Amino acid sequence: MVDYDSARDGFDWYRDGFSQLDWLPGGGLNNAYEAIDRHVAHGHGDKLAMIWVGKNGEEERYTYSDMKEQSDRFGAVDEWLGIERADKVFIFMDRLPELYIAALGVLKAGGVIGPLFSAFGPDPVLDRMVDAGARFLITTPELRNKIAEILPKVETLEKVIIADKDGRSGEPLAEGDLDYYTLMSEADSSGFQIADTSQYDYSIMHYTSGSTGKPKGVLHRHQAVVQQYMTGKWCLDLNFDDMFFCTADPGWVTGTSYGMMAPWTNGVTNLIYEGGFGANAYYDLIDKYKVTVWYTAPTAVRLLMRAGSGPVESHDLSSLRFIASVGEPLNPEAVVWGNEQFNMAIHDNWWQTETGAIMCSNYASMEVRAGSMGRPVPGIEMAVLDEDYNPMPPGQAGILAVRPGWPAMMHAYWRQDEMYASRFKKGWYITGDQASLDEDGYFWFQGRADDVINTAGHLVGPFEVESALIEHAAVAEAGVIGKPDPIAMEVVKAFVTLNPDYEWSTDLRRELMQFTGERLSPAIAPREIDVLDVMPKTRSGKIMRRLLKARELGLPEGDISTLEDD
Ligand code: ATP
Ligand code: MG
């Protein structure tokens, strides 16, 4: 995007977006076709689509032709298995090439993929598979063992397909299970035809992160691909020759919308790393594979900050030209740090599982305002509403809302019609977040509606207090809640984790109070600060304020299926 205003001016999804896709003969739309096959059809079959790096340093390379051939094969397997339109196929796997190939194959066969984060234990897997009515499960021997006890309880489940990559597990196949590699080698994909899905057919079902309560099953349609494609260009600045690295797992929406669809529809090379976070591991990958565009999350950025500049300096990161972040507010301190370390801003963007794709973003061509989530994607109308759901003028905090009808919009909360309906008011989709808008059209995230604190008549977003706290050298992460108070209604209470080399003391607590009081007004600075060894976070890396609050108040912890292990 060269210029935001001209890109936005009069943009029309049908005329200017969908027309850039190939579509299926006969007018259907299939996102796996748009991601992979069309590049082969356009003569780019030899281009590298995926470089996979295993957790032990293994490497595999797949061209777009390889991806097409293998996903066709898995599509043929699916047909042979009897997968029908809208059938739910759950994938419970580490980030292995087989995960991506199977996902594309299921989409090609017209099924709906339900990706599950591999760190889940048995109960979250059971809940989700039963809720969704899963017919098939694709997993690995290790993960199958982890959840063996719950499988008989999923009554709809017909078959389990096991991918024992390179015979890593050394275990025989359990009775009744099918071997992925045998199925693949025996499949006849010569006559395979992509299912004639329409843009309105379901493609993927993601459960939300569970930050605010029980995770919801969000259903998306093939048409979401147009927005993933366009935002890949606009918000991640993807060009055909980029080497792209997205750190998100496909168990969460970022890992499919931007770990698969945006890079592949844009024809770039997608670097996939099986291992988890590690400052050195990430920098090694960027250095070795000459990553140009990097999409990550604030939680990772905060950990990189904690690791300091040593690892940055010992790597050649000069290939990097664009960094973006999503999932939580990106603290201004992180933007400043990014500028210092990488010589470029980290571009924050905002969206949700429900929105399916980026909705509001800082763009390469636009000045980054540290702490702002940027401006709405072309073709998207966003607003800040008052309590009666009427748009408010700039400068005031209120309900963040979007005009429904954007292409990647969820089509349902699975089996929760009332909750779905409750998200729409006066012609707006209510995001559940609070934000403000400035005079120049930039949106500023305040907090989740549930998290906003009302202290002595001041509305305080936890984010601004947290951001002030992490500006202090001792603080690694901060989580802020409102604690009920008989006089002030609520007082601001903060929990912090400390950087290495710092120890908790009453002096440090006092210092932090003074420090935040100077940066924020004393009225909204934390009244209480406690230290934690570990900040409770969702497995997708978001601070779980509701859990901090429940623990503080001695209340039930609620659904903690997405809580990260200590
Ligand atoms: P649940 O809906 O189950 O409580 P969740 O809202 O965390 O969980 P996601 O859909 O993964 O589930 O996350 C979307 C939310 O994450 C947004 O509504 C917002 O609160 C937060 N978020 C995402 N990106 C940003 C960002 N750039 N700035 C601020 N907040 C963000
Ligand atoms: Mg949510």
Expressed in angstroms and rounded, the spacing between residue 452 Cα and the centre of ligand 1 is 14
Assigned architecture for domain 453-553? 2-Layer Sandwich (3.30)
List, as one string, the DSSP characters of 524-538: TS-SEEEE-SS--BB
Strand partners, 270: 50, 244
Question: Measured in angstroms, how far is the CA atom of residue 212 from the centroid of ligand 2?
Answer: 7
The CATH architecture of the domain made up of 4-434 is 3-Layer(aba) Sandwich (3.40)
**Nearest CA-CA partner of 153 in 175, 128, 117, 178:** 128
538 with 562: CB under 8 angstroms? yes
State how far the Cα of 36 lies from the Cα of 39, in Å rounded to an integer.
Answer: 6
User: Per-domain residue ranges for the chain?
Assistant: 4-434, 453-553
In angstroms, the CA 251 to CA 213 distance is: 18
Give the per-residue pLDDT at 155. 97
pLDDT, mean of residues 389-416: 97
Ligand 1 contact, 213 CB (< 6 A): yes
Predicted local distance difference test score (pLDDT) of residue 502: 96
Q: What is the mean pLDDT of residues 528-557?
A: 95
Cα angle value 76/82/83 (rounded, 5°): 80
From 154, 163, 150, select the one nearest 93 (Cα to Cα). 163
Answer whether 208 contacts ligand 1 (Cβ < 6 A).
yes
Supply the pLDDT for residue 270: 98
Res 278: pLDDT: 93
| Burial environment of residue 300 by CB neighbours within 10 A (0 to 12, 13 to 18, 19 or more) | buried
According to the model, what pLDDT value does residue 457 have?
83
Pocket of ligand 1 contains residue 210 by CB under 6 Å: yes
Q: What is the pTM of this model?
A: 0.95
Average pLDDT over residues 210-218: 91
Q: Report the range of poorest mean pLDDT among 28-32, 99-103, 302-306, 315-319.
A: 302-306
- With contact defined as beta carbons under 8 Å apart, do 454 and 482 qualify? yes
Segment 261-274 shows an average pLDDT of: 98
Q: How far apart are CA 467 and CA 296, in angstroms?
A: 18
Q: What is the DSSP letter of 113?
A: E
Reference 560, options 548, 550, 547; nearest CA is 547
CA distances from 5 to 13, 17, 20, 198, 440 (A): 16, 17, 20, 32, 12
How many Å lie between the centroid of ligand 1 and the Cα of residue 419?
17
Beta bridge partners of 269: 243
Residue 566 has pLDDT above 70, yes or no: no
Task: Report pLDDT digits (tens) over 303-340.
Answer: 899 899 999 999 999 999 999 999 999 999 999 999 99
- Residue 352 Cα to ligand 2 midpoint, Å, equals 6
- Does ligand 1 come within 6 angstroms of the Cβ of 348? yes
pLDDT for 387: 95
- pLDDT, tens digit (0-9, with 9 covering 90-100), for 70-94: 999 999 999 999 999 999 999 999 9
Nearest residue (by CA) to ligand 1, atom 16, is 327
Atom of ligand 1 lying closest to residue 214 CA: 3
Measured in degrees and rounded to the nearest 5, phi and psi for residue 467 equal -65, -40
Q: Is 165 in the pocket of ligand 1 (CB under 6 A)?
A: no
